[in-house]
Chain A
Amino acid sequence: DGGITQSPKYLFRKEGQNVTLSCEQNLNHDAMYWYRQDPGQGLRLIYYSQIVNDFQKGDIAEGYSVSREKKESFPLTVTSAQKNPTAFYLCASSLYAGQGYEQYFGPGTRLTVT
């Protein structure tokens, strides 16, 4: 079964702690993305990666970090510098980076920081 997995589905953390969200894909896609979604809002791009060992900031990268050491994996770390980390986080991948390529999304991780 090909697809994107994100874990965990729900995550709770105390303020001031860093937390890492997992994203794995077995679609053999080059490009991967992280989005944040707040209630009633659209998705905002945090980071994207066009290829292994490369990644670019999106619109709201401050307070987040990523790595892309393997093609299949694109973990996102929410650092204590992120002012409002509570949100729904979505990971996606596409064959290559670009609007012309369909993005496949994972089920999301809902992060709550108190």
Chain B
Amino acid sequence: LAKTTQPISMDSYEGQEVNITCSHNNIATNDYITWYQQFPSQGPRFIIQGYKTKVTNEVASLFIPADRKSSTLSLPRVSLSDTAVYYCLVGNNYGQNFVFGPGTRLSVLP
């Protein structure tokens, strides 16, 4: 199973770009990288998923270097409502690895 490591917490200010990096040194060839967001007392919500290079959607970008041993979630111009816990998951459709580690607690300050 690919283990992931993320910073426990990060602080940012409104309007800034936030980059959260996840390390996954033993990622397997057929593993995807997926990020979820969780607000207090709610279920996590899917943000973005990628396999390699760069993926962008309406809320975030995901940067994956060629060796795929890490990935970076980029949140452009964060607002107070982006204060949440962000989880990085690594796994594939063959193994049943649904491990949400402690995540990164992002606090956006005014």
Give Cα A44–Cα B103 distance, bound, in whole angstroms.
12
Give Cα A106–Cα B89 distance, bound, in whole angstroms.
19
A41 contacts B by Cβ under 8 Å: yes
A98-B44 contact given A35-B100, A42-B102, A42-B103, CB 8 Å threshold: no
A45 contacts B by Cβ under 8 Å: yes
| Inter-chain contacts of A4 with B (CB < 8 A) | 43
| Inter-chain contacts of A96 with B (CB < 8 A) | 93
CB distance from B98 to the nearest CB of A (A): 5
Give Cα A105–Cα B43 distance, bound, in whole angstroms.
5
A108-B41 contact given A42-B100, A102-B46, CB 8 Å threshold: yes
Q: List 22 A-B contacts (CB under 8 A).
A: A35-B98, A42-B87, A42-B99, A44-B100, A45-B99, A88-B41, A90-B44, A92-B43, A96-B93, A97-B93, A97-B96, A98-B93, A99-B34, A100-B32, A100-B49, A100-B92, A101-B93, A102-B49, A105-B42, A105-B44, A105-B45, A108-B41
Q: How large is the interface on B (under 10, 10 to 19, 20 to 34, 35 or more residues)?
A: 20 to 34
User: A-side interface residues toward B, CB under 8 Å?
Assistant: 4, 33, 35, 40-45, 48, 56, 58-59, 88, 90-92, 96-108, 110
Q: Which residues of chain B from 18 to 38 have a CB within 8 Å of any chain A CB?
A: 31-32, 34, 36
B97 contacts A by Cβ under 8 Å: yes
Give Cα A94–Cα B98 distance, bound, in whole angstroms.
12
